[in-house]
Amino acid sequence: MEPFHILARVEYDGTNYFGWQKQSGQITVQEVIEKALSTLLNEKTKIIGSGRTDTGVHAINQYFSFKTKRYLPDNAYLLGLNHFLPRDIRIKGIRYVDHDFHPIFSAKKKTYIYKVLNRKEPTALDIHRVWHVPFALNAYDMKKCAGYILGEHDFRSFRASADTRKNTVRLIYDARWEREGELLIFKITANGFLHNMVRILVGTMVEVGLGKITTEDFVLIKESKDRKKAGKTAPPQGLYLYEVYY
């Protein structure tokens, strides 16, 4: 009998974790979920995530799959896993999938959001969930920059130096800045992302908003394919994996 293949949807606050991927000597989201699953199923269980998130980054909808010979109803997985997980990691959905499904390679596109708190005073409640920028931002120019990255472009200027992938072209389906009170929220959907791509884009667009560089400079930075010309990497706590589409 072939094992069952299960896809789970999970939400987590990344503040207390060294990212998603399991690594020696550090507590990670993947490690905590695997321990909870192994306890629930009474068998050693490994999971495959839909992608990595860095230290301090959050997820509203992250996905992972696992295989097991034990059948449980969807709701039993949901209740059982959440019972064994800490409060900052919550399973939101469970479904059985085909054996050839892969949480990374079956994904068609992903959406991230980034939250900037734009007010003079820092936050007490959301210190680990937003980037506090105390100076006035020109949201109009930031929205123009978001429009410049729509479509297919080479994002070599907006990737971490440690990212050595040869293909740096990505297709952007949607990119926009929206204001919600004192928050400026960047939302971006693409067929894939380079390491730190969203955070470097945000960091560069915030420099435009602060008047340090112009919208024309932003376009030149994008076309230069030179990371050194882009802005700083925005801090991790404002970033959320919003959705993965299969």
Of residues 43, 32, 45, 36, the one with CA closest to residue 6: 45
Beta bridge partners of 241: 59, 112
- Separation CA 114–CA 246 (nearest Å): 22
Residue 15 phi, psi (nearest 5): -55, -45
Going by the DSSP 8-state scheme, the letter that residue 130 receives in this structure is S
| Nearest-angstrom CA–CA distance, 91 and 78 | 6
Q: Are 47 and 64 in contact (CB under 8 A)?
A: yes
State the Cα–Cα distance between residues 171 and 192, nearest whole angstrom.
Answer: 7
Pick the catalytic residue from 13, 54, 74, 88.
54
Distance CA 96, CA 36 (A): 19
DSSP letters spanning 221-238: HHHHT-GGGS-PPPPGGG
Q: Is 141 labeled as catalytic in the residue annotation?
A: no
| Dist CA 195 CA 163 (whole Å) | 6
Task: Determine the Cα–Cα distance for residues 87 and 202; give it in Å rounded to an integer.
Answer: 29
Residues annotated catalytic, as ranges: 54
